[in-house]
């Protein structure tokens, strides 16, 4: 069966609800900050829940910010504050001085995949200064040691991101890692308007079908917090959304209502099969990104880096 890819636990949970799948061991709740800013939390508590969701056990927090694609500094500042709060709640170790490695995953040369490297560009890095001048270099008794790395992609380095990061972790011994990456969404409305934060780590490239070794506590030996924004959707998503809109339009027209009703009677497996047949062999492996992705990634990378800076300041 043709499956639409998504990295968002929230979208997987929504799909399970649509299909009326019983989700045992999974909790869901949401907090409405305002009408354009909603924070949803999916907690996978059991192995059975993880198997049903197809995601590791842990906490997945999603910030849905409908205006995040607009140039509104106050709005983006509020999103950064909420992101900082969530990171603070997910930090696995509570002590006065933390050592944190921030990993910017992705390919800087490919705009939709450059979110991670661009976030690292805007971070407040302190480890080298503290190593040189000591804990009072910033006039504070306690200061977190922040370091960062952009490991690139396998085509550039010949190495898995996990191999590079594991080597850095072994040498620098951080308390935990924050990994930032671009994601894939199932719903086009969530492109560049959603931030997912998780304490389960991340699999680089999973959203576009490139299955690499994951960055998580098991592979690195330290806890990993992941942060991501969906910047691409696959072609099947666009066809699926278009079909839904078409069915709605057909149901409102008496002459075409019978055709619309007959398509709506198809189950999910049949609809996906129809989508696969509609897509040409070259199109069903295609990923699509908004035309203003250059400005969006530049703006969103700053919003995420500000959230990280606030959380670790």
Bridge partners (DSSP) of residue 177 are 101, 224
Nearest to 181 by CA among 237, 129, 120: 120
pTM for the complete prediction?
0.84
Q: Strand locations in 81-193, DSSP E? A: 99-104, 145-149, 176-185
- Residue 66 burial (C-beta neighbours within 10 Å; 0-12, 13-18, 19+): middle
* Domain definitions of the chain by residue range: 9-236+286-312, 237-278
pLDDT of residue 207: 45
Ordered alpha helix ranges (H), 188-256: 217-220, 235-251
For 171-181, how does the pLDDT look when each residue is reduced to its tens digit (9 = 90+)? Answer: 999 999 999 99
Give backbone dihedrals phi and psi of 289, rounded to 5 degrees, phi first.
Answer: -135, 155
Query: Looking at per-residue confidence, does 23 or 65 come out higher?
Result: 65
Q: 10 Å Cβ neighbour count for 47?
A: 11
pLDDT of residue 142: 76
**Domain 9-236+286-312 coded CATH 3.40.50.1450:** yes
For 202-240, how does the pLDDT look when each residue is reduced to its tens digit (9 = 90+)? Answer: 976 544 445 568 899 999 999 999 999 999 887 777 776
């Amino acid at each position: 069966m043709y499956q639409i890819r998504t990295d968002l636990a929230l979208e997987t949970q929504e799909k399970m609800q649509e299909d009326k799948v019983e989700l045992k061991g999974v909790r869901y709740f949401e907090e409405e900050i305002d009408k354009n800013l909603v924070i949803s939390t999916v907690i996978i508590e059991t192995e059975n829940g993880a198997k049903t969701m197809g995601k590791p056990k842990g906490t997945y927090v999603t910030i849905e910010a409908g205006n995040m694609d607009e140039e509104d500094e106050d709005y983006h500042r509020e999103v950064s504050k909420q992101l900082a709060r969530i990171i603070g709640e997910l930090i696995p170790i509570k002590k006065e001085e933390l050592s944190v490695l921030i990993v910017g995953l992705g390919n800087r040369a490919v705009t939709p995949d450059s979110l991670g490297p661009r976030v690292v560009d805007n971070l407040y890095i302190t480890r080298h200064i503290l190593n040189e001048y000591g804990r009072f270099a910033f006039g504070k008794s306690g200061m977190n040691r922040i370091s960062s790395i952009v490991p690139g992609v396998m085509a550039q380095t010949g190495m898995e991101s996990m191999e590079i990061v594991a080597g850095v972790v072994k040498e620098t011994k951080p308390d935990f890692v924050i990994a930032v990456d671009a994601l894939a969404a199932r719903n086009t409305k969530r492109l560049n308007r959603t931030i997912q934060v998780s304490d389960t780590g991340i699999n680089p490239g999973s959203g576009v079908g490139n299955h690499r070794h994951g960055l998580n506590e098991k592979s690195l030996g330290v806890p990993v917090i992941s942060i991501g924004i969906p910047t691409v959707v696959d072609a099947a998503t666009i066809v699926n959304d278009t079909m839904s809109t078409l069915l709605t339009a057909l149901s409102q027209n008496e002459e075409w209502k019978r055709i619309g009703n007959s398509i709506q009677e198809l189950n999910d497996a049949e609809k996906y099969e129809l989508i696969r047949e509609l897509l040409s062999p070259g199109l069903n492996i295609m990923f699509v990104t908004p035309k203003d992705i250059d400005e969006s990634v530049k703006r969103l990378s700053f919003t995420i880096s500000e959230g990280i800076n606030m959380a670790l300041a």
